[in-house]
Chain A
Amino acid sequence: MAPRLFQAAFGALAAAWLLAAAPAVAQASEQAVKAAFIPKFTRYVEFPPAMQPGTGQPYYLCIIGRDPFGQQIDRAAASETVDGHAVAVRRFADTSPAAVAGCHIAFVAGADDRATVAMLITLRRQPTLTITDARSGKARGMIHFALVEGRVRFNIDNMDAAQRGVGISSRLLALAVQVKQ
């Protein structure tokens, strides 16, 4: 076919599509949903009194190691307020104790499972709600994300949380695929 004719035909076709179709809403991405979940966990967790933020202080949400969320989690955290406290995102390459001491919630993803476990062990010194993702590896924090039937779900290790003094609300436990008591 003559290219000119083809061009004209295609142009007409494209225009028809543009007119006919309403803007489609993109299905949420897995990571975007996780990024929306994580700041919300703050509401459903009770920290020991010593760990609770002072007046005007935020809850610290730490991304330790690899960051699969980027700006998504910053935006999600910015829209979250828990009892008058904001949620502030901090990122750390590793778990050097001084740096992560203030983390209320920590999403942990090391270079591999062993690195993640090492980070989780360091965080066990303090009452931090640790979160991991099946996508990053097998190492599990108190909350471990997994994709179940095309939905973002999680497992909860309530025993570990209780030992660290982190109380997880029944509303969150009810959503878990599995709870380790």
Chain B
Amino acid sequence: MRTRWCVSLLLPLTAIPAPAWANDEQQQNLSSLSIEELAQLPVRSASKAEEPLSAAPTALYVITAEDLARANGTSLPEVLRLAPNLHVEKLSATQTSIAARGFAGFETSNKLLVLIDGRSIYSTLHSGVFWELHSPLLEDLQQIEVISGPGGTLYGPNAVNGVINILSKDAADTQGALVRGTASANERTAGARYGFKLGDAGAVRVYANYFDREDTPTATGFGPALDESIRGWQAGFRADLGDDASHVTLQGDVFDNDTFIIPGEGNHGYNLLGRWSRDVSGNASVQFQGYYDYYQRRSLLTTDRLETADFEGQLNWRTGSHSLVGGIGIRTTRDEFINDLNAFQLDPRRDRLWIANGFVQDKFALSTRVSVIAGVKLEGSSFTGLEVLPNLRFAWQPNDRTLFWTSVSRAVRTPSRIDRNLTEPTFLAKAPDFASENLVAVEAGYRGQPGRNTTLSVSLYFNRYEKLRAVAFIGSPFPLQLNNDLEGDEYGVEAWGTQQLTPWWRVSAGATVLKRDFGVRPGGTDIGGAASIGRDPGYNLSLRSQVTLPQGITFDAGLRAVDSLPNPHRDGYVEADARLGWRVSDAVELYVVGDNLLHASHVESNDVQRTALIERNISLGARLRF
């Protein structure tokens, strides 16, 4: 298992009283038992390989279950706004661009690895993520780990600019029934989950999640007037069996949604995943995971089908001052892309790709305070040969509350189907030589608790990109062909921190600043205006206040400021959101949520094809548990 970062350890001194629901009662019951009874109580063991977040030598932000419970968003992309190291641009009711360290844009944010419980969800069509295909029940999520930067050796393909690792709770932690509903002028959602025990050491949950999002109005100067509304559902299950020594997880989802730009279009799909982890000895454990995933998207007279089968194995071994991790992964995809809108086609229209990776990493403790992490990943696809991706990190903990880290790593984005196989009879030729895009990243950071009630994380990075996608004439003048002629440097700072002002009031702030300098490589050509590098705001700022009052009342408010975008110009904007929650009893929670409170509407992207107005929205919600 990849290390699961354990955030609760970061702020142990005056943690916000968690909305603990059943936990309160359970702890009361346990406390009433005698020590003899406690010693005989069968327990569900805590998840293993937890490490304190304070020791993570990377730019990692963790969105916890508590954050999710009091977040405004009702969808995955919306709650990812909580991570200060992500840049979220909502284009319309359906489409969102999410980027880390640049390359923002619907088509250009193609350098992230996004995992839901170990299942990779970026598309081999364009290496981006279709966020509208994923609607897990947010109440069932354990945490979302967001790494900005290459993410090191441990994560699989496409972890170039960042990793978003979405983890759902063990089924044993989601027992009983939950029903949630929200309603506003722009959106209705409903969700339900029921969890039950399966024998002595097993638990299962089933869930269903429904959403109905209204069209976002057309923005002046942007976008055609299309009906961007979307309505759909996702349902699924997760079963967990065994304890830490031998644990089996089986889970699956099925979804279907309707879109209305062209009536009758929409998306559907399903997946099934199995994972088995086992302690081989006190110092070693193995894990095997396999999954199958299928989806079909029908959008604007195109049909895109993708079928994925993936298998991974991993070995963790501790000996002396070494912690070794090694693993292999192999994935095969079979896709089909049919375009009835225009003459752009993939050639071949259907294809099978293979993507394989293997890695080994050693964390070596030079002393109690200094450790070196060295790893290498080999990654290849049926489009490319084997790429060697080394990673070297140093971590220095002068005391338990301070960590300094630095790293240098190489990462690549292997070509997508569009990069290599997109063609149009007159205008575009295939690019059979399109190569992987390359990154060498140098990072340094600090994470710690500079004061008793303060946490702070600062990371600096310098990225050197080569072989980024460009386009050139190869005929007279047509056809065009995609090539790898863009390159450039990027550097920036990301910082976030939390101050617990009083036991009931916490404030947090985040900031990212990004500078970029890209151009055509010497001797190269790009006539596309460096389209593939996206259009990034120079800064993103956020401020959040979380107030926890007696009688189960919580009040959260956030403010965010995003720099303007060039070419075409989009104004910078400042927006606010707020949420007032009231836990009436253990069984009932009511809340009122306001999004984008400062303006009637604003625009987040400058994508002229897709951008719509994002409106002020007030919604009411309730959660019932029994």
Point out residues on A near B: beta carbons under 8 Å: 3, 6-7, 10-11, 14, 17-18, 21, 23-33, 35-37, 39-41, 44, 63, 65-68, 70-72, 75-76, 79-80, 91, 93-94, 110-112, 114-115, 118, 135, 147, 150-153, 171-172, 175
Q: Which residues on A sit within 8 Å (CB–CB) of B40?
A: 151
Q: Which residues on B sit within 8 Å (CB–CB) of A30?
A: 43-46
Would B41 and A79 count as touching, CB distance under 8 A? no
Would B27 and A21 count as touching, CB distance under 8 A? no
Would B23 and A17 count as touching, CB distance under 8 A? no
In the assembled complex, B38 has its CB within 8 A of some CB on chain A: yes
Point out residues on B near A: beta carbons under 8 Å: 6, 8-9, 12-13, 15, 17-18, 20, 22-24, 26-28, 30-33, 35-36, 38-46, 48, 52, 55, 172-173, 175-177, 179, 192, 194-197, 201, 203, 206, 208, 210, 232-233, 235, 243-244, 256-258, 266, 268, 365, 368, 397, 399-401, 449, 626
A168 → chain B, closest Cβ, in Å? 12
In the assembly, what is the distance between CA of A75 and CA of B268, in Å? 46
In the assembly, what is the distance between CA of A6 and CA of B201, in Å? 32
Would B30 and A28 count as touching, CB distance under 8 A? yes
Would B30 and A70 count as touching, CB distance under 8 A? no
Q: Which residues on A sit within 8 Å (CB–CB) of B196?
A: 21, 24
A15 → chain B, closest Cβ, in Å? 9
Would B208 and A10 count as touching, CB distance under 8 A? yes
Q: Which residues on A sit within 8 Å (CB–CB) of B399?
A: 93-94
Within 8 Å by CB of B35, from A37, A70, A72, A147, lies A37
Known A27-B44, A35-B27; judge A110-B400 contact (CB<8 A). Answer: yes
User: Can you list 25 A-B pairs with a CB-CB distance of less than 8 A?
Assistant: A3-B233, A3-B258, A6-B233, A6-B256, A21-B177, A21-B196, A23-B177, A27-B42, A29-B43, A33-B38, A33-B43, A36-B30, A37-B35, A71-B18, A71-B20, A72-B23, A75-B24, A91-B13, A111-B400, A114-B368, A115-B368, A135-B46, A150-B42, A151-B39, A152-B41
Would A75 and B266 count as touching, CB distance under 8 A? no
Given contacts A37-B35, A147-B243, 4 further A-B contacts (CB under 8 A): A3-B233, A30-B45, A66-B52, A147-B43
A169 → chain B, closest Cβ, in Å? 10
In the assembly, what is the distance between CA of A118 and CA of B235, in Å? 50
Would A152 and B39 count as touching, CB distance under 8 A? yes
Q: Which residues on A sit within 8 Å (CB–CB) of B626?
A: 23
Within 8 Å by CB of B175, from A6, A26, A110, A172, lies A26
Known A76-B31, A111-B52, A112-B365; judge A28-B401 contact (CB<8 A). Answer: no
Q: Which residues on A sit within 8 Å (CB–CB) of B24?
A: 75
Would B400 and A18 count as touching, CB distance under 8 A? no
Q: Which residues on A sit within 8 Å (CB–CB) of B175?
A: 24-26
In the assembly, what is the distance between CA of A31 and CA of B48, in Å? 12
Minimal Cβ-Cβ distance residue in A for B175: A26
B107 → chain A, closest Cβ, in Å? 28
Q: Which residues on B sit within 8 Å (CB–CB) of A175?
A: 35-36, 39
Within 8 Å by CB of B15, from A44, A70, A75, A114, lies A70
B175 → chain A, closest Cβ, in Å? 4
Q: Which residues on A sit within 8 Å (CB–CB) of B210?
A: 7
Would A17 and B206 count as touching, CB distance under 8 A? yes
In the assembly, what is the distance between CA of A115 and CA of B23, in Å? 31
A-B pairs with lowest CB-CB distance, top 4: A67-B12, A36-B30, A26-B175, A114-B368
In the assembly, what is the distance between CA of A6 and CA of B31, in Å? 46
In the assembly, what is the distance between CA of A40 and CA of B175, in Å? 28
A20 → chain B, closest Cβ, in Å? 10
In the assembly, what is the distance between CA of A147 and CA of B201, in Å? 15
Q: Which residues on A sit within 8 Å (CB–CB) of B45?
A: 29-30, 147, 150
Minimal Cβ-Cβ distance residue in B for A37: B38
In the assembly, what is the distance between CA of A40 and CA of B35, in Å? 7
Which one of B46, B201, B233, B397 has the greatest number of beta carbons of chain A within 10 Å? B46
Would A14 and B35 count as touching, CB distance under 8 A? no
In the assembly, what is the distance between CA of A68 and CA of B8, in Å? 7
Would A68 and B46 count as touching, CB distance under 8 A? yes
Within 8 Å by CB of B26, from A7, A11, A32, lies A32
Would A27 and B39 count as touching, CB distance under 8 A? no
In the assembly, what is the distance between CA of A39 and CA of B8, in Å? 21
Would A76 and B30 count as touching, CB distance under 8 A? yes
Q: Which residues on B sit within 8 Å (CB–CB) of A63?
A: 12
Q: Which residues on B sit within 8 Å (CB–CB) of A66?
A: 9, 12, 52
A142 → chain B, closest Cβ, in Å? 15
In the assembly, what is the distance between CA of A8 and CA of B307, in Å? 27
Would A27 and B43 count as touching, CB distance under 8 A? yes
A91 → chain B, closest Cβ, in Å? 5
Which one of A21, A23, A118, A172 has the greatest number of beta carbons of chain B within 10 Å? A23
Would A10 and B235 count as touching, CB distance under 8 A? yes
Q: Which residues on B sit within 8 Å (CB–CB) of A93?
A: 399-401, 449
Minimal Cβ-Cβ distance residue in B for A4: B258
In the assembly, what is the distance between CA of A97 and CA of B35, in Å? 31
Would A67 and B43 count as touching, CB distance under 8 A? no
Within 8 Å by CB of A150, from B46, B176, B201, lies B201
In the assembly, what is the distance between CA of A66 and CA of B449, in Å? 13
In the assembly, what is the distance between CA of A76 and CA of B27, in Å? 6
In the assembly, what is the distance between CA of A67 and CA of B54, in Å? 12
